[in-house]
Amino acid sequence: MRFKFLSVLAAVALLAACETAPESSGNAQSSGASSSTSSNSGSATSAVQIQAGSQEDLVVNVGDRVFFEFDSSELSAEARTSLEKQAAWMKKFGGVRVVMEGHCDERGTREYNLALGERRANAAKDYLVALGINPARIKTISYGKERPAALGHNETAWAQNRRAVTVVDSTGS
């Protein structure tokens, strides 16, 4: 009986010693990402600055992916809008080279999905070239179904995996 009482007392003491984080720390964290590229507060607690022209800059300020319908490499209006933003970003950072990755959902054979991923990557590249980006700045690669963004065997996961992703080429070649 005493052991149970002491155990309960110890548990209560441990819970009482826990402290809830102040609300101000949550606010600083959520606001840091949105202003990390546009302001420099000089504060040691501010978010890490994103380097202009980096992959992080592309993802945060422009978006790095476009999505496709099932068994299609045709660009939707939304995909074209995203690629137009990417083209403007690439024009701003003229020395940046990218790799356009083509991806598919898990349905279909490996060979079929590699070919479909290649068509998707090329469709995105071709649109960027049509918008004035030098084709020598864009490499393409297809991963087919080998690198899913979302795991699952349903339409929600499949829709996230049918994509082309623009990746800043850090090799510089």
Residue 79: Cβ-neighbour burial (10 angstroms; 0-12, 13-18, 19+): buried
pLDDT at 158 over 80: yes
Does residue 16 sit within a domain?
Answer: no
Residue 140 lies in a domain: yes
Q: What is the CATH number of the domain that holds 98?
A: 3.30.1330.60
Domain of residue 117, residue span:
55-168
State yes or no: pLDDT of 27 exceeds 50: no
Banded model confidence at residue 7, pLDDT cuts 50, 70, 90: low
Q: Which is higher by pLDDT, 12 or 60? A: 60
Residue 38 lies in a domain: no
Report pTM. 0.72
Residue showing tokens 């819970």:
15
Give how many domains the chain has, as a whole number: 1
Residue indicated by tokens 């101000």:
24
pLDDT band at 171 (very low <50, low <70, confident <90, very high): confident
What SS3 class is residue 172? coil
107 falls within a domain: yes
Average pLDDT of the chain to the nearest whole number: 82
Closest to 56 measured CA to CA, from 43, 46, 47, 67: 47
pLDDT at 12 over 90: no
Does any domain span residue 18?
A: no
**Overall residue count recorded for the chain in this entry:** 173
Q: Decide if 70 is inside a domain.
A: yes
Query: Cβ-count burial of 124 within 10 angstroms (0-12 exposed, 13-18 middle, 19+ buried)?
Result: buried
pLDDT at 15: 44
Tokens of 169: 């080429």
Q: What is the mean pLDDT of residues 19-43?
A: 39
> Does 29 map to a domain?
no
Listed range (1-5, 11-15, 69-73, 136-140) with the worst mean pLDDT: 11-15
Residue 13 lies in a domain: no
CA distances from 156 to 3, 132, 150, 153, 160 (A): 51, 34, 8, 8, 7
**17 pLDDT more than 70:** no
